[in-house]
Amino acid sequence: MVKIKDMCLKKTPNVKKDFLRTALSKCLEILESKSGSIFLFDDSRNELVLKAIDGNGIERSLIGLRQSLDKGIAGFVASQRKPLLVADITKHHLHNQQRFKHYDTNSFLSAPLVAEDRLIGVININQKSLQQPFTPQDLKLLSAVSDYIAMTIYNSEAVKGLKETLKPQGNGAEDSITKFASLGKLASGIAHELNNPLDGVIRYINLSLGCLAEEGIVREYLLESKKGLNRMVKIIRSLLDFTHSHSLSPKSLDINKVINDSLDMIRHHIVSNDIKVEKELGSNLPFIEDRGLKLVFTNLLKNSCEVLPRGGKIKITSTSNNSFVEMRFSDNGPGVPTEVRDRIFEPFFTTKEMGKGSGLGLAICCSIIQRYGGRIVLEKKNEKGATFIIRLPIKDNQTKAKLNKDRE
């Protein structure tokens, strides 16, 4: 029999059909059953929609079938949000609203898919392979697995929302202020909700490791668990950084000072790896509003420090003209492979080893620069190394005068 831990299914941001089919198939295998279905809840119409179906003799054309919450066993389970075991469907009060003629048995299981107090859908399991009625133990097992499925769908939808919000839009900064503010609140909520329990779990793992004097399989399992948890911590820190950058007070910044402050933030990386830093900073640059620029610079510099060999070099320049301010961050590291250049600003995309990066750093940089109505690009060149170019528009002379007045 398949164990619940084997339900490590492929998760995709838009809850693709293959995930639902695989989840249903695993449930049937676990419960030794022949057929079943998964409905997802459409809250815009307060209806269940059939999204996955499995079993001999069941028509695939039923996919997309809609059912209101006041009809049928699935609707009843969804509205009550409680799992249900039906020993004999012919004796159930909702029998007349069900089509059970093609089933070999009359027993039936149904469980709601609920995550964070939100109705996600319903999963139904029928036709026990041995033609016996389902048991209360079967219902408990389905309820446990349904929690996993619901949370997977819930989390994947959250990831989809994060990706869509961070995706380059090209409509300027002002068009996305509301969207960024909403995402900032979402990120902050997720991060703070996860931070405390994660801290406790890691603490207990460390205590457990301290009690194990010898090497063994238990220590190996704990160490692997700790690696995964530490990766989650890094992602949460990235989300908190992102949230912080959305709650900044409206003030103007000296770009060159922000560059120097960012270098101070990663000074330990620079010194410990004997990295040489060369600066060519322009004079009389216009001030820029504070929309998280320090986080952009720090992320770029940290990325360079992580890939540079000992004794490597970073060069930073800043210039301006009547239209824009430009900053360049260059290093003489291995560069970015051609095949991934078009994806480096995608949320959650990373070329680093598992546990070494969240894939949010450059995506957050991109979203911050978009708030200025600016652009950040990776310069195309054949030689080794990488150069990121940031251009921020200077709105007009009035804005320049105002910002320079703040300077005084």
Residue 264 has pLDDT above 60, yes or no: yes
Q: What is the pLDDT of residue 174?
A: 43
> Does 112 have pLDDT greater than 90?
yes
The residue whose two tokens read 């060999």 is: 309
> Residues 79, 215: one domain?
no
Q: Could you give the percent of the chain with pLDDT greater than 90?
A: 21
pLDDT tens digits for range 210-223: 777 677 777 787 88
In terms of domains, do 300 and 388 share one? yes
Q: Is residue 143 located within the same domain as residue 205? A: no
| Domain end call among 112, 139, 161 | 161
Place of tokens 């059953």: 33
Whether 187 and 40 map to the same domain: the answer is no
For residues 151 and 57, membership in a common domain is answered with yes
CATH number at residue 192: 1.10.287
In this predicted structure, the answer to whether residue 251 has a pLDDT above a threshold of 80 is no
The CATH number given to whatever domain includes residue 146 is: 3.30.450.40
The mean per-residue pLDDT over the stretch 316-336 comes to 92
| 265 shares a domain with 239 | no
Average pLDDT of span 278-286: 91
Position with higher pLDDT, 167 vs 236: 236
pLDDT greater at residue 103 or residue 13: 103
User: What pLDDT does 398 receive?
Assistant: 36
For residue 172, the enclosing domain spans: 167-246
- Are the CB atoms for 301 and 262 separated by under 8 Å? yes
Q: 45-57 pLDDT, tens per residue? A: 899 999 988 876 5
> 388: burial class by Cβ within 10 Å (0-12, 13-18, 19+)?
buried
Taking the C-alpha atoms of residue 133 and residue 151, their distance in angstroms, rounded to an integer, is: 28
Quick one: angle between helices 293-307 and 255-265, nearest 10? 40
Q: What is the mean pLDDT of residues 316-322?
A: 92
pLDDT per residue over 170-212, tens digit each? 444 444 445 445 555 555 566 656 666 777 777 778 888 777 7
Strand partners, 277: 314
Based on the domain organization, do 54 and 88 belong to the same domain?
yes
* 227-263 b/e (C-beta count within 10 Å ≥ 16 → b): eeeeebbebbebbbbbbebbeeeeebbbbbebbeebb
The least confident of 19-23, 88-92, 311-315 is: 88-92
* Pairing state between β 313-320 and 276-281: parallel
Same domain, 236 and 157: no
189, 215, 246 - which closes a domain: 246
Q: Where are the beta strands (DSSP E) in 264-332?
A: 276-281, 288-289, 313-320, 324-331
Quick one: pLDDT band at residue 258, thresholds 50, 70, 90?
Answer: very high
> Where does the pLDDT of residue 95 fall: very low under 50, low under 70, confident under 90, or very high at 90 and above?
low
Q: Do 260 and 239 fall within a single domain?
A: no
Residue 223 shares a structural domain with residue 283: no
**d(Cα 275, Cα 308) in Å, to the nearest integer?**
8
Pairing of strands 276-281, 84-86: unpaired
Say what the pTM is.
Answer: 0.47
Structure tokens at 48: 């269940």
Shared domain for 99 and 210, answered yes or no, is no
Please provide the average confidence, as pLDDT, over all residues in the chain.
76
Share of the chain above pLDDT 70, in %: 68
- The residue-averaged pLDDT of 293-302 equals 90
Taking only Cα atoms into account, the Rg of the chain, rounded to an integer number of angstroms, comes to: 27
Domain boundary among 129, 161, 193: 161
Domain count, the chain: 3
DSSP 85-147: EES-GGGSTTGGGS--TT-S---EEEEEEEETTEEEEEEEEEEETTS----HHHHHHHHHHHH
Is the pLDDT score of 7 beyond 50?
Answer: no
Mean pLDDT of 369-379: 87
Give me the CATH number covering residue 354.
3.30.565.10
Say yes or no: 313 and 216 in one domain.
no
Containing 259, the helix (H) or strand (E) segment is: helix 255-265
**pLDDT for 396:** 52
